[in-house]
Copies of this chain bind each other. A is one copy, B any other.
Amino acid sequence: MSFDFSLSERTAEWRDRIAAFVRDEVIPREQDAFAGGVTDALRAELQRAARKAGVWAPQVSIGLGGGGFRFDEAAVLLEEAGTSLLGPLALNCSAPDEGNIHLLDAVATGEQRDAYLRPLAAGDVRSCFAMTEPPPGAGSDPAALRTTATRAPGGWRITGDKHLITGADGAAFAIVMARHDDREGASMFLVDADNPGMTVGAHARTLDATMPGGHCRVTFEDAFVADEAVLGEPGQGFRYAQVRLAPARLTHCMRWLGAARRAHGIALDRALGRELFGAPLASHGMAQQLIADNEIDLAAARALLWHACWQVAEGARGTEESSRAKVFISEATCRVVDRAVQLAGGMGTSDELVIGRIYADIRAFRIYDGASEVHRMSIARRVVRRAGNRVAADA
């Protein structure tokens, strides 16, 4: 009817509950996790606590045991969860499971819902999304996909190399993107971890450190899967990738917005308590500039995010909106965290002050789910195409 930026009462309640939960249950476990890694035992413990606290899976439908929030409401809640790097894991709204749940909920068959979606939504298992390939395969350009699925009696045989597959080590199953050997399309396949043709290999030693299951090389060698392992309909791989993509980008934005806010808050508290050259750090103009620029970036990121999420919630596909939001928010949050490091000084680069951990973990956000440059290209092409059509129509 007209603009409304107010939160529903239920959203506000969940937000406050999540904030308390992160503060009381998640943050106390951070340092151990930073030092020792995020184990599945920690994950289980955090998830039990989240259920108990009544903050389980806000973005998951009520039928699957989640909060059932609209996508724009989820923006508020996942931001809150993201204020700890472990928060989304606790609430079962972390990548890649959150995106896989969304995808399965949208396209899985009835049997697949029971076998894969329900346990995943319940947190009983983890999953991974095996799309990215080492060059020259599918990376920022999905069309370069090289993993193949070949027809075999009663099913398919999958062969190919994947890398940087987040969460692969310990996942109960992988959603695998593979091109049909006739090259006429691609399908997604549900491949169980015990499939003898699938091997989870080395973890890449990347900047981030809080992702259970790492970022692994995954190899498929003639991995046989039955027909029922085709996710949804065969030949729909690229379309399904789109179903997953725009929302998954935006949930990344939600979570990282929370993480950036956290880093900013820590730096701010530190600036409050320190003196420099005889005056509180926070009274120095350049510190104020860092603080103000963080406030501005966070506010702009949030407003843009909410708008994009509202459009998706209203049924838009959101490709362009999510591209714009992803570029802006991935860059804005990186700026915010970088300023927080600077404001906090030497300890700002440490795990102990958390900011250093966030700085390292957030970097890849400007790359995965489409590097900033790829989104910019896609945004520009769309606007140029529209402008061209307009010019043609005027002629």
Measured CA separation A307–B303 after assembly (Å): 7
| Stretch from A118-126, A148-156, A172-180, A269-277 forming part of the interface with B | A269-277
Contact across chains for B292 and A379 when beta carbons are under 8 A apart:
yes
| Stretch from A89-97, A187-195, A281-289 forming part of the interface with B | A281-289
Contact across chains for A3 and B5 when beta carbons are under 8 A apart:
yes
A209 CB to closest chain B CB, in angstroms? 10
Contacts of A9 in B (CB 8 A): 1
Contact across chains for A8 and B4 when beta carbons are under 8 A apart:
no
Question: Known contacts A2-B70, A6-B1, A269-B387: does B376 contact A136 (CB below 8 Å)?
Answer: no
Q: Which of B296, B321, B372 contacts A342 (CB 8 A)?
A: B372
> Taking each of A8, A271, A286, which has the highest tally of chain B beta carbons within 10 Å of its own beta carbon?
A286
A135 interface residue, CB < 8 Å from B?
A: yes
Mark contacts of A377-388 with chain B using CB atoms, 8 A cut-off: 1 yes-contact digit, 0 otherwise.
Answer: 101110110011
Mark contacts of A351-381 with chain B using CB atoms, 8 A cut-off: 1 yes-contact digit, 0 otherwise.
Answer: 1100010011001101110011101110111
Contact across chains for A300 and B291 when beta carbons are under 8 A apart:
no
| Stretch from A13-21, A43-51, A139-147 forming part of the interface with B | A139-147
Contacts of A72 in B (CB 8 A): 2-3
Q: Looking at chain A, what size class is its interface with the partner chain?
A: 35 or more
Measured CA separation A207–B350 after assembly (Å): 6
Contacts of A384 in B (CB 8 A): 268, 271-272, 282-283, 288, 291
A282 CB to closest chain B CB, in angstroms? 4
Contact across chains for A376 and B292 when beta carbons are under 8 A apart:
yes
Q: Which of B6, B371, B388 contacts A345 (CB 8 A)?
A: B371
A347 interface residue, CB < 8 Å from B?
A: yes
Measured CA separation A324–B291 after assembly (Å): 12
Contact across chains for A288 and B291 when beta carbons are under 8 A apart:
no
Contacts of A303 in B (CB 8 A): 300, 303-304, 306-307
Question: Known contacts A135-B274, A300-B304, A327-B296: does B3 contact A310 (CB below 8 Å)?
Answer: yes
Residues of A20-34 whose CB lies within 8 A of B: 34
Contacts of A284 in B (CB 8 A): 285, 373, 377
A106 interface residue, CB < 8 Å from B?
A: no
Q: Which of B5, B309, B345 contacts A311 (CB 8 A)?
A: B5
Contact across chains for A289 and B285 when beta carbons are under 8 A apart:
yes
Contact across chains for B345 and A324 when beta carbons are under 8 A apart:
no
A299 interface residue, CB < 8 Å from B?
A: yes
Contacts of A342 in B (CB 8 A): 366-367, 371-373
Contact across chains for A373 and B287 when beta carbons are under 8 A apart:
yes
A38 interface residue, CB < 8 Å from B?
A: no
Contacts of A164 in B (CB 8 A): 346-347
Enumerate chain A interface residues (CB-CB to B < 8 A): 1-9, 11, 34-35, 70, 72-73, 132, 135-136, 139-141, 143-144, 163-164, 204-208, 215, 265, 268-277, 282-293, 295-296, 299-301, 303-304, 306-307, 309-311, 313, 321, 324, 327-328, 341-342, 345-352, 356, 359-360, 363-364, 366-368, 371-373, 375-377, 379-381, 383-384, 387-388, 391
A/B interface sample: 15 pairs, CB < 8 A: A2-B72, A139-B276, A141-B276, A143-B277, A164-B346, A205-B356, A208-B349, A268-B383, A269-B387, A291-B383, A292-B327, A295-B383, A300-B328, A342-B367, A345-B367
> Given known contacts A205-B356, A206-B356, A292-B383, what 16 new A-B pairs fall within 8 Å (CB)?
A3-B5, A5-B311, A34-B205, A135-B275, A139-B276, A139-B345, A284-B377, A286-B288, A288-B381, A289-B373, A291-B383, A292-B375, A295-B383, A296-B376, A300-B328, A303-B307
